[in-house]
Amino acid sequence: MPHTTAVIGLGSMGYGIAQSCLAAGHTTHGFDIAPAQVERFRTEGGAAGNHTSIADTLDAVIVVVLNAAQTETVLFGEAGIVPHLKPGTVVMACATVPPDFAKDMEARCNAHNIHYLDAPISGGSVKAAQGALSIMASGTPDAFIAAKPVLDATAETVFELGDHAGPGSAMKAVNQLLAGVHIATMAEALTFGMTQGVAPDQFVEVISKCAGSSWMLENRAPHIVNGDYTPHSSVNIWPKDLGIVLDIAKSSSFSAPITAAALQQFIAAAGMGLGGEDDAAVAKVYARNASLTLPGEDA
């Protein structure tokens, strides 16, 4: 049955999720701190209304913000939505957050008779708009049932990882460790190849068909070849996400030196003023250090 859904956070992933809910026939409200994004979504068919005034009409709230602090503000801050929701509504929280934070949000939502689904996402902005995300979800059986209409609208694959919040976020941390390291390693390999006379387009053509490839290499390396750093996922995501990975590792007395090395490259990229660019821009750190000129840059 069509649901009434609110998507809070209309960035590159959230906007696609909102579009997918709309395409599935759900009445969908979109909210963001950027008024232009909200207006754009309404021109495409998004429902109008203030998020607190329509809260008691909602069946689901999908929170697609940057981090734990923003998630908590959306749910329980001064204008938090949870106290205004009707009992039985489900909150689907998609940000990359520590597992213990997800458990805390679940407990606080349960105190208001609100279901909480720990539901980190993967797949990028294109798959978000196609309703073809992978969702690493954990929560009670009732939370999964309540979220099923929006899961069906937004995901190609839903991994049911546990009957309480936390395991979804733990799995996302594992994914982000690999994804962040793969992006940084792709940038290192591509620029290393340039020092040996391997052109970036040749790198993509050959390595994407060889054992050294990865999804991140195939997806991000063409951005460097095209000199196009329009952010689909920005550099600024990675100091946060890899920082979460290392915080979890530290709490478990686990050494993660490769993650730490990748994190430093993203921090260096942000320090160069590249934080708002596509995360493939981490290649510019290597290029600067090796006095290389990447495609689209002046020699």
- Written in H, E and C, the secondary structure of the chain is CCCEEEEECCCHHHHHHHHHHHHCCCEEEEECCCHHHHHHHHHCCCECCCCCCCHHHCCEEEECCCCHHHHHHHHHCCCCCHHHCCCCCEEEECCCCCHHHHHHHHHHHHCCCCEEEECCEECHHHHHHHCCEEEEEECCHHHHHHHHHHHHHHEEEEEECCCCCCHHHHHHHHHHHHHHHHHHHHHHHHHHHHHCCCCHHHHHHHHCCCCCCCHHHHHHHHHHHHCCCCCCCECCHHHHHHHHHHHHHHHCCCCCHHHHHHHHHHHHHHHHHHCCCEHHHHHHHHHHHCCCCCCCCCC
Query: What positions carry a catalytic annotation?
Result: 172
Rounded mean pLDDT of 140-151?
97
Query: Tens of pLDDT along 22-73?
Result: 999 999 999 999 999 999 999 999 999 888 899 999 999 999 999 999 999 9
Q: Residue 2's pLDDT is what?
A: 72
Query: What domains sit in the chain, N to C, each tagged with a CATH number?
Result: 4-165 (3.40.50.720), 169-289 (1.10.1040.10)
Q: Residue 279's pLDDT is what?
A: 98
Compute the mean pLDDT over every residue in the chain, rounded to the nearest whole number. 96
Query: Tens of pLDDT along 243-261?
Result: 999 999 999 999 999 999 9
